[in-house]
Amino acid sequence: MAIISNSKELLEHGNIEGRRIVLEILEAGLRASDPYFSTRKLIRVSKGKLTVGRKGFSYYTSDGKKMQGPLVFDLSKVGNIYVVGGGKAAQRQAKAIEDVLGDLITEGHINAKKGEEVQLKKIGVTLAGHPIPDEDGVEGSKKVMEIEKKARKGDIVFFSESGGASALMTLPGPGLTLNDVQEVTRRLYFDCGASMWDTNTVRWNLTILRGKDERYVGDATLIAFHTDERPVGLKINVKRKGSGTGTYKDAIEILRKYGLWDKVPDSVRKYLQKSDPQYGPIRPGELDGKPQYHFRVMGPEYMLEAAARRSRQIGIRSRIIASSLSDVEAKDAGNVLAYMAKEIELYNRPFKPPCILLCGGELLVTVGGKKGKGGRNQEFVLSTAPRIASSPNIVIASCDSDGTDGPTDAAGGIVDGYTMTRAEEEKIQVFEELDLHNSYHVLSKLKDLIFTGARGTNVQDLRVVYVGGREKTEREHIPDYISSRFAGQRFNLSR
């Protein structure tokens, strides 16, 4: 079954051949981002033994040591088996666990994103709000913590986690309310255009579950499966050392940076200033020696490499130009990539057409007081349309891997060199709508929104830039006025 549900509609106008290529590559990348299969490959039960991991697959212990080789448990010596967690990919990972272990699971609960279908039978599921946390998420988080606290030595707790959990697993600290966390999220992420990393650093320090689950399982064995938004080894947050949840001090500094410290509820300021360590981030050495193991089962490289591989299979060279182009305004990123596409089309540089440029990451849309409807992927593609107008060769698309771009039901959008002409025919003022952050309205009217539905994963976004046409000769690069002015003269064009 196709992931992009409205492909037929998207291929009824514009640069149809270019769109077909782009949608085929998007489809391949999105399909590869499902964590179910990579999770299931790591779990098996045979002859009374539970094996987690496989030869050559690395994982990390509670004190950060990198290990390889499978973990093997004698089921006759294992007590209870619990499955807990939350995030946009949590249910798909948990389904892989449930499909292997079945009735061996004692109890479990997962918080997933509203819009997903409930796929689990043995493990409970709460569908919760994202990116603004809601009461359902709070109630589901309480169930997760209750199960974690039941665990004892000899038990196994499978923890299924991914991006999105900071909203989906919101459990406010003592003295804080859900409204407090909701207001901080709105002000930071939407009004100020804060990066998700900055937003999460504040939210992590206002809640007592997200990023701290390891604390509540005691001496039980914890086996964590993670779908990671970040490419391996790539530093995302340049302000803070490490990749953890940050400190109370970090949260305070972020609120000050965005001018929000005096605007957030008084309860938030008091809570962060108190900096109670029992509810804060896991402290260095706190879990040393605990039987806790972390497996990274999915990341953006799976999606990007699958897209690149499909491009090569259909005979088009591809380049992954940025595994994570993040924390940049969507309009700015759109302008840069559109300029790159035109450079390739006109001058064969830095790559020769036909070619595909691939990019991951999460862009920003600083809404401020504007009330338009759209998402970062929709705003990105629409911002490229004026730059590539009239091009017969360029098609640009972008999708959120989780299937919902911002507060909309679309995953993203697609544009080409005919988009601006079609917008003019529909009397759409593209620049005005971009200023209002109203990209959904424009792309909907042009029938250029991409729909996939909620997908049960989260490895950020996939952007595909296709430049068709043919490689030009050196003479074709010379504008007409130059070739006529210097006709008959010889030049070394290779220098």
**What are the tens digits of pLDDT across the range 359-390?**
999 999 998 878 899 999 999 999 999 999 99
Band of residue 190 on the pLDDT scale cut at 50, 70, 90 = confident
Q: Give the residue, 370 or 83, on which the prediction is more confident.
A: 83
Res 238 pLDDT > 90: no
Band of residue 468 on the pLDDT scale cut at 50, 70, 90 = very high
- The predicted pLDDT at position 482 comes to 52
Res 254 pLDDT > 50: yes
Cα gap 464→302, rounded to integer Å? 15
The secondary structure of 264-292 as a DSSP string is: S-HHHHHHHHH--TTTSSPPTTTTTTS-E
**What are the tens digits of pLDDT across the range 441-459?**
999 999 999 999 999 999 9
Res 242 pLDDT > 60: no
**What are the tens digits of pLDDT across the range 39-52?**
999 999 999 999 99
- The predicted pLDDT at position 444 comes to 98
Place of tokens 């620049």: 431
- The predicted pLDDT at position 177 comes to 98
Burial class (CB in 10 A: 0-12, 13-18, 19+), 52: buried
- Do the bridges between strand 355-359 and strand 461-467 make them parallel or antiparallel, or are there none, so unpaired? antiparallel
What is the percentage of the chain residues whose pLDDT exceeds 70?
94
- The predicted pLDDT at position 175 comes to 97
Kind plus residue range of the DSSP H or E element containing 201: helix 196-204
Band of residue 234 on the pLDDT scale cut at 50, 70, 90 = confident
Q: What is the mean pLDDT of the chain?
A: 93
Of 16-30, 159-173, 182-196, 372-386, the one with minimum mean pLDDT is: 182-196
- The predicted pLDDT at position 478 comes to 63
Return left, alpha or beta for 489; rule: phi > 0 is left, psi -120 to 50 is alpha, else beta. beta
What's the Rg (C-alpha) of the chain? 25
Over residues 157-176, mean pLDDT: 96
Cβ–Cβ under 8 Å, residues 53 and 27? no
Res 243 pLDDT > 50: no
Res 483 pLDDT > 90: no
Res 221 pLDDT > 50: yes
Cα gap 217→285, rounded to integer Å? 16
Res 1 pLDDT > 90: no
Band of residue 241 on the pLDDT scale cut at 50, 70, 90 = very low
- The predicted pLDDT at position 237 comes to 59
* Sheet with 412-416, edge to edge strand ranges: 317-322, 355-359, 461-467, 394-400, 412-416, 449-450
Over residues 111-115, mean pLDDT: 96
Res 60 pLDDT > 70: yes
Q: Could you tell me the domains of the chain?
A: 7-33+301-469 (3.40.1480.10), 36-171+207-246+281-298 (3.40.50.10180)
Helix (DSSP H) and strand (DSSP E) numbers for the chain: 18, 17
Q: Give the residue, 146 or 240, on which the prediction is more confident.
A: 146
Over residues 54-67, mean pLDDT: 93
- The predicted pLDDT at position 367 comes to 86
Cβ–Cβ under 8 Å, residues 375 and 439? yes
- The predicted pLDDT at position 232 comes to 87
Cβ burial 371-406 (10 Å sphere, 16+ → b, else e): ebbbbbbbbbbbbbbbbbbebebbbbbbbbbbbbbb
- The predicted pLDDT at position 239 comes to 53
Cβ–Cβ under 8 Å, residues 345 and 469? yes
Res 86 pLDDT > 70: yes
- The predicted pLDDT at position 15 comes to 98
- The predicted pLDDT at position 493 comes to 42
